[in-house]
Structure 1
Amino acid sequence: MKNIIADKALLKRIDCAYLPVTNAEAAAEWYSRVLGLKLRSPVKPGRGAIMIMGEGQWLFLLPCPNSVPLTFPTTGWTKDEEPFEMFPLCFETDDIRSLHASLLSSGAWVEEQIRDEGDCGMQLNFKDPDGNKFQAWQAPRQE
């Protein structure tokens, strides 16, 4: 077999993601109500849900009754080098303030303040009701 070393990126973008949830119907309702995602088709008992993001990518909410939330410990993300509960996905938003307000009003775990990370934009971390941890960011304004 020939050893191939790619001279260009062979993966273009993430088209969809698969998330473990304990109850797909309840999760779909939360993702719709709190994050404004659209349900692609009715949730069938024992089956997952497909949520559509603003630019068309899909999030699959898959039933996993004994699921472990999507997080993992890592280092290098805190000033004191303590382990950090990392998020596996970072979402982009055009309205981080409304997102933050919606998460707060839903009772979800969300950082108290939106962080201004300069050239890395505005950021916040949050969790869905199943404990899956995510980051959302908004690109810095171009002056």
Structure 2
Amino acid sequence: MNKLDLKNELESKFPHNQARLKKIECVYIPVTNAAVTKQFFMRHGLITLSPGGNVKLASGQGIFFLETKEKQSSNFVTHDWDDNNEEHVMESVCFEVEQIEELYEQMRAGGAKVSELKDSGDCGKAFHFFDPDGNKYTAWQDV
């Protein structure tokens, strides 16, 4: 079933015009060492820390880097994103940023693992970056 057919089916079965979920307040990311991950994000100017040491985005939303006993990542494989790749490694978080070209060059020069910066026209510009545990993220800027 395509996305439009599914949309129509779900809206006919479950009619409502306002979602109860307002926004994502925080995100939980598995890491092997929270201090190392916070240092990575701070080094590149991606986050600030609250007075209690919690990670904050410019919007005030939080990210929790939670240490795991065994290394794992928040990435997953999907066939539902890239029509040319049945095993696309998908990130679980896409961040909206400003001055994406400057951020990209700064992260690249600072030794971060980054993909190429892509201009997708009306969809904006984006690049992927990876934390020390290999968690994949997208930095995206609207046009």
Shift of 1:103: 2.1
Q: RMSD between aligned alpha carbons?
A: 1.9
Residue 124 of structure 1 aligns with which residue? 127
Query: Structure 1 81/12 Cα, relative in aligned 2: closer, same or farther at 3 Å?
Result: same
Matched, 1:39 2:45: no
Letter in 1 for 2:137: F
Correspondence 1:42-61 to 2 at 5 A? 50-61=54-65
Residue 46 of structure 1 aligns with which residue? none
Residue 138 of structure 1 aligns with which residue? 141
Shift of 1:99: 1.8
Correspondence 1:1-143 to 2 at 5 A? 6-41=16-51, 50-78=54-82, 80-111=84-115, 113-140=116-143
Shift of 1:115: 0.7
User: What is the aligned length?
Assistant: 130
- The runs of at least 4 aligned residues of structure 1 exceeding 4 Å deviation read none
State the Cα deviation string for residues 56-107 of structure 1 (Å, max 9, x = none). Answer: 1111111113131111111244453341100111100011112212321232
Query: Structure 1 80/7 Cα, relative in aligned 2: closer, same or farther at 3 Å?
Result: closer
TM-score, normalising length: structure 1? 0.80
| Larger fraction in helix | 2
Long gaps (5+) in structure 1: 43-48
Give % identity. 35
Long gaps (5+) in structure 2: 1-13
Letter in 1 for 2:72: V
Query: Structure 1 106/64 Cα, relative in aligned 2: closer, same or farther at 3 Å?
Result: farther
TM-score, normalising length: structure 2? 0.80
Are the aligned partners of 1:35 and 1:102 in contact in 2 as well (CA < 8 Å)? no
Question: Partner of 1:90: helix, strand, or coil?
Answer: strand
Question: Partner of 2:138: helix, strand, or coil?
Answer: strand
Are the aligned partners of 1:86 and 1:133 in contact in 2 as well (CA < 8 Å)? yes
Question: Partner of 2:29: helix, strand, or coil?
Answer: strand
Shift of 1:128: 0.8
